[in-house]
Amino acid sequence: MNTIDLSGKVAIVTGASGGIGKAVAITLASAGASVAVHYGHNKAAADETVREIESLKGKAVAVSADMTKPEDVEKLFEFVDSRLGTVDILVNSAGIDGPRQTLGNDSIDEWQKVISVNLFGPYYCSRMAVQRMIKKHSGVIINITSDHVKIPWAGYTAYCSAKAGLDMLTKTLAQETADKGIRVLSIAPGAIKTAINKTVWEDPEMLKDLDNKIAMGVPGDSKDVANAVLFAASDLASYMTGTSLVVDGGMLIYPDFRHGG
Ligand code: BGC
């Protein structure tokens, strides 16, 4: 039987105070990993993730860092070194979409912020992780990207650019580290019900429009993504690097084409 056992492994999950990151943290901890639950601002929510992990007899610590500041990220990794041990699994899940703004009605500050959190953040974290993983010739880095690596999305140029960049970071870093015992993968979610798209799934009309874009007809759950991360982080995926797993209920297979074309 192929059960996944991550005991003895140390995982850092960014953006684990809610949404996909939270589900990933709980899932990895349930498989035995010690988990650093990173948060940006919401300490209470990160503490709640830790409590949920502890109630499942798992091990976790909450730790904050501003993903846009390399010195903050460095401190995060040093904290984890001292509290849990050196990282084996890094999951870059922290992300924002920013306000919907088309060019001309946009703000340069907002654009930079989205790129900073969604692309520079994973880059800073990956630098810290690779330094450590090279020494033990082992480690996995998983980047949470999006269907919007492929699907353009008006009003979200920064988000789409950052996610497409993150996917290329995955592939290039995988190429750099494949002979160093390190695997780098992307997981690309479609519409997953979290706070990021709450305004859409809470509005019946907007939800209907979203459902029509998904072959399976409904948005996914964070757990669906967490299960893919669990697989990618495990030895079951030991021959996989530099590629992406799509978890989107068939958003990328153009469901509208069922009806003629
Ligand atoms: C976004 C969600 C959106 C989904 C599908 C994700 O990357 O964060 O807000 O629902 O893509 O468009």
Question: Could you confirm whether 39 is annotated as catalytic?
Answer: no
Predicted confidence at residue 134, as pLDDT, reads: 98
Instruction: Output the CA 100–ligand 1 centroid distance in Å.
Output: 12
Confidence of residue 1 (pLDDT cuts 50, 70, 90): low
The reply to whether 170 falls in a domain is: yes
Tell me: pLDDT of 261 over 90.
no
- Report if residue 191 sits inside a domain: yes
| Number of compact structural domains in the chain | 1
Q: Ligand 1 atom closest to Cα of 248?
A: 5
pLDDT band at 260 (very low <50, low <70, confident <90, very high): confident
| Token code pair at residue 48 | 């709640």
211 is a domain residue: no
201 pLDDT higher than 90: yes
Question: How large a percentage of the chain has pLDDT more than 90?
Answer: 97
Tokens 């020494």 appear where? 135
Strands (DSSP E) contained in the chain are 10-13, 34-39, 59-64, 89-92, 139-144, 182-189, 244-247
User: How would residue 259 be classed by pLDDT, with cut points 50, 70 and 90?
Assistant: confident
Q: What is the CATH number of the domain that holds 109?
A: 3.40.50.720
Interval 49-56 mean pLDDT: 98
Residue 104 has pLDDT above 90, yes or no: yes
The set of protein residues with a Cβ atom below 6 angstroms from ligand 1 is 97, 146-148, 190-191, 196-197
From residue 156, alpha-carbon distances to 107, 159, 195, 217 in Å are 12, 5, 17, 23
Torsion of CA 198, 199, 204, 208, to 10 degrees: -80
Residues 57-102: pLDDT tens digits?
999 999 999 999 999 999 999 999 999 999 999 999 999 999 999 9
Q: Is residue 32 part of a domain?
A: yes
Structure confidence by residue, pLDDT tens digits, 37-50: 999 999 999 999 99
Residue 177 lies in a domain: yes
Q: How far apart are CA 90 and CA 143, in angstroms?
A: 8
Residue 59 belongs to some domain of the structure: yes
CA distance 226 to 135: 27
Quick check: 128 and 10 in contact, CB under 8 A?
no
Domain that holds residue 85: 10-195+220-253
Model confidence pLDDT, tens digit, residues 166-196? 999 999 999 999 999 999 999 999 999 999 9
Flag whether 5 is in a domain.
no
Residue among 146, 149, 163, 251 to mutate when testing ligand 1 (max atoms within 8 A of CB): 146
Q: Global pTM?
A: 0.98
Closest Cα partner for 177 from 235, 109, 129, 117? 129
pLDDT of residue 237: 98
Distance 9 CA to ligand 1 centre (A): 30
Residue 52 lies in a domain: yes
The angle at the Cα of 237, spanning 219 to 163, to the nearest 5 degrees, equals: 45
User: Residue 73 burial (CB < 10 Å; 0-12/13-18/19+)?
Assistant: buried
113-148: pLDDT as tens digits? 999 999 999 999 999 999 999 999 999 999 999 999
Output the CA 250–ligand 1 centroid distance in Å. 13
Mean pLDDT, the chain, rounded, equals 97
